[in-house]
Every structure is written in structure tokens, then in C-alpha cells.
Amino acid sequence: MADGTRESGFADLLRELKNRSGHSYGTLAKRLHMSTSTLHRYCNGDAVPTDYAPVERLARLCGATPEELVELHRRWVLADAGRGRKEPAAAAAVPAPPAVEDAEEEPRAPGEAEAAAPGEAQAPAPARAPVPYDRPRRRARTVLLAALTVTAVLGGVGLALNLSPSPKSGTPTVAGTRARDQEPTAGAPYPTAPAGSAGPSRSPSRASGAPPADSPGAPHTGRTPDGGDTVPSATPPLAITTHPYAWPDPCSQHYLIDRAPADVSPPPLEQDAPAWVAVHKAVSAGEQYVTFTVQGTGSDTVVLEGLTVRTAGRWAPLAWNDYAMGYPGVGCGGGVPTRSFTVALDALRPGVVPAAGQPGFPFKVSRSDPEEFHITGDASAYDVSWYLELAWSSGTRHGTLRIDDHGRPFRTSGNNSRPAYAFPLGGEKWQPATDAD
């Protein structure tokens, strides 16, 4: 019953995630490359996956939180350990041969019966204790079952120890999962990026190598359908170049700065925006335009399966001054580039939405065929700290890459009703936006 309870707890959480996602069994099974009946059996508790990798992919497709991923892995470990104890339990349930209840005489020696005188009444033999003919076999079977039970228990304990807190991270280390930043409280410093961040802006940054084995981002080696090991996904075959402070046009970009106009330098050129932002500790106002290029590094084609938005923090909008880039009177505007997406950062669960008429994921890239993506994150009601996760696969390899700003999340704040300033063309100082016009 204990094994069934563990499997039921695992299946219950898996089924809850599936139902909450709103996807059908057929849709999820197709994306996971498994049969619909197999997925039914996992969610109904009729079977437990031998590998955690498909469980993790299913949970991520269903929008599981980091805490739910940890809990799901714990329940899978217990269910997998419980499956190992089923066979000894079944053996223990086999009934032993029934004990001899009636009195039984020991076999007589040859000729013993003939020793009695002919016609002489023989006295009844005294009752003897039952002959324990099955005792040696039952004792051996008991010892064997005890040994099997101890082995199964020790295996379960060993698996459970994998969930012990990592001495470096302080959170459970779960194979095959990627630890995400916990949501910081207001005023807390930006969380740092885990291993696998896309790296600094304006310079190509190959995905980092394998993280330490005890880190939250440690690679997971699963099994292919034919039983072979997959290649660890610690070294993605991708190079990513990120531009966190790109401008769709000179007039649309605004920044919030906690300084008076006299202490703010004139607007920079777009290529100088990262340094200007760093000096003034500026925060993108209203929207942030992020571009990144993805290119394969090997001979194989890489499939970019999806792009996910992760929110690291959300606070009230900054009460700072709003400074507009560009100069009043100068022509602005531009077309919508291909591979353009928008993100409503004020939403509880922001998603990446293709611009009108634009294709959505998945995409394919290679060394000779890169892709450039344009992401516009819009915020009006909050000051949002966020980053992106790019899921990829190539053959039996797969993984997730984080895209952010120099290892820190992007930051975009609403700027409604904030004091607005512009820098007139040919002027010498910032002026209120109405006067500059």
C-alpha cells in the first residue's frame, strides 16, 4: 500500500499540472514524442517513467513553478524506489506450504513392523510433534526476502539523499532541472545569473561549459528510447549575442534616472547606450527593446523550441525622472523587423507573443543560418525584473539557455505621470518635454 501511495502522489501532481495547462493529452504527447496512452498511464498512476527527463519536460510544458519541479522530482524518486520494492513484496505474499497440523509418526526402520508378534495387538503410538519438513525452506526464503527488502530500502534512502540541500546553493539539487532565481523582495539586489547565461551584450558569448556537479544547473544525462545514454547538454552547440539596450528608433526609447536634469549627460548614440545607462544607473522606461542573435556552432542543425519569460521581481514603478533619447524635430520611426515578439510584463504570467503577421517558435539555426530575434518588453503598472529562457534541442541533446543583461535580469519600469525631459537638437541642457517640443 505504501508503494501505491507514493505512486499516487506522483501521478496526482502530474495530473494536476496537465489539467492546469489546458492542453490535451494528445497535444502534450506529440510535443513530448511519446504515445498518448503512455502519457495517460503516467498521469493515472498506472506506470512510473524510468527516467525523469520526460517528466521534467512535461512539467515545463505545463508551466510548473521551480517549487513544483522540486516537489515533482521528490515524488518521482519515491515512486521509482517504490517500484523496486514491489517484486519482493509480491514474493512475500506467496503463501508458504501449510504446516502439518495432524500428528504424524516418524518413518519406521525397515523390518520394524515385522518385529511385532503375529496377532498381537499393538499399542497405539504416542502422538509426536509435527515434522518440520518445510522449516529449512521457509527459513531460507525468509532470509532471502529480508535481504531483498534491506537492499530496496537502502536504494530508496540513497535516492532520497539526492534531494539533500546543496552546501553552495542552500536549495535542493534536482538532476535534470535548472534552478531559477527566487523572486526578490523590494529593494533587494538583482539576482545573479546561473551557469549557462547568454553572457554580456554587444559581444558574442558562447554558452558556458559544464557547471559543477553540485550546482543547480548540473547537466542531466537521460536515456534515449533504445536505452542508450543521451549526450549531456552542458555545452550547448549555440552562440548567442545579446543587445539589452537596442533602440527600435531614436525617439521611442526612454530611461528613468534618479537624478536632476543638470546631472544627466546628453542622449548617447545607440551603440553607446550600455555605457551611458551604467554611468547614470538608468532603467528602461515604459518598454525595453532587446535583440539577440542565435547561431549554431557545430555541423548539426539546432531546433529552438521556445522562448519563456521569467519574472525575478515586481515592484511599484520608479518615481524617477523620465529622459527621452533622440532629439525633438528629428524624423523617427521604422518598420517592424522579422522575428519580432512582444512581452506584456505587467501580466501575472507574461508570455512571448509574435508580432502581427510574424511566425512563432520553433525555429532552426545552424552555423551558416543564424536567426535574430527582437523582443519588446512593455511595462506600465510595475517595475519588473525579468529574463528569458531559450529551450533548444539537437538530436538527443537538449537544454535551456538564459538570456539576460550581463548575468543580471533585464529591468523595465512603468513611467506614467513621471516628470519628462527631452534634449533639444543644438541645445545645451535637458528641458521639460513640452518646452523642448
Q: What tens digit of pLDDT does each residue of 347-398 get?
A: 989 999 999 888 999 999 999 999 999 999 999 999 999 999 999 999 999 9
Contacts of 403 (CB under 8 A, 6+ apart): 197, 198, 240, 242, 290, 292, 387, 388, 389, 390
Handedness of CA 345, 64, 410, 366 (dihedral sign): negative
Does residue 267 sit in the same domain as residue 388? yes
Asked if residue 259 and residue 153 are part of one domain, the reply reads no
Give domain status of residue 139, yes or no.
no
Contact 327, 267 (CB under 8 A): yes
- d(C-alpha 230, C-alpha 300), whole Å: 16
* Number of domains the chain is built from: 2
Same structural domain for residues 156 and 268? no
274 and 396 co-located in one domain: yes
Check: CB of residue 197 under 8 Å from CB of residue 244: no
What pLDDT score does 373 carry? 96
Q: What confidence tier does 168 reach under pLDDT thresholds 50, 70, 90?
A: very low
Would you state the pLDDT for residue 39? 86
CA angle, corner 36, sides to 7 and 401, nearest 5? 80
Q: Which residue, 180, 411, 435, 406, is CA-closest to 328?
A: 435
Residues 244 and 324 in one domain: yes
pLDDT above 90 covers a percentage of the chain that reads: 36
Domain's final residue, options 161, 190, 219: 161
SS3 312: strand
CATH classification at residue 18: 1.10.260
CA 141 to chain centroid, in Å, comes to 45
Residue 187 lies in a domain: no
Examine residue 403 and state whether it is found in any structural domain, yes or no.
yes
Which of 104, 129, 161 is at the close of a domain?
A: 161
Query: Where do the DSSP E strands lie in 138-278?
Result: 205-206, 238-246, 254-257
Give the DSSP H or E segment for 118.
Answer: none
Residue 292 and residue 375 in one domain: yes
Strand pairing class (283-285; 363-365)? unpaired
Amino acid at 39: L
Cell of 417: 505621470
Q: Does residue 384 belong to any structural domain of this protein?
A: yes
Q: Are residues 301 and 154 in the same domain?
A: no
User: Is 297 domain-assigned?
Assistant: yes
Same domain, 157 and 285: no
Residue 424 forms part of a structural domain: yes
Domain limits for position 55: 2-93+147-161
Percent helix / strand / coil, the chain, rounded to 5: 30, 25, 50
Question: For 187-242, what is each residue's pLDDT tens digit?
Answer: 334 443 343 444 444 433 333 333 333 333 333 333 344 444 445 456 889 999 99
Within a domain: 140: no
Q: Are 397 and 240 in contact (CB under 8 A)?
A: no
Angle at 236 between CA 204 and CA 294, to 5 degrees: 40
Nearest to 401 by CA among 174, 241, 187, 189: 241
289 and 427 in one domain? Answer: yes
CA-nearest of 196, 329, 167 to 250 is: 329
Whether residue 297 sits in one domain with residue 152 = no
User: pLDDT band at residue 54, thresholds of 50, 70 and 90?
Assistant: confident
Q: What is the spatial distance between Cα 178 and Cα 71, in angstroms, rounded to a whole number?
A: 14
Could you list the beta-strand ranges (E) of 263-365.
283-285, 287-296, 302-315, 321-324, 340-344, 352-354, 363-365
Which pLDDT score is estimated for 45? 85
Q: Would 141 be classed as within a structural domain?
A: no
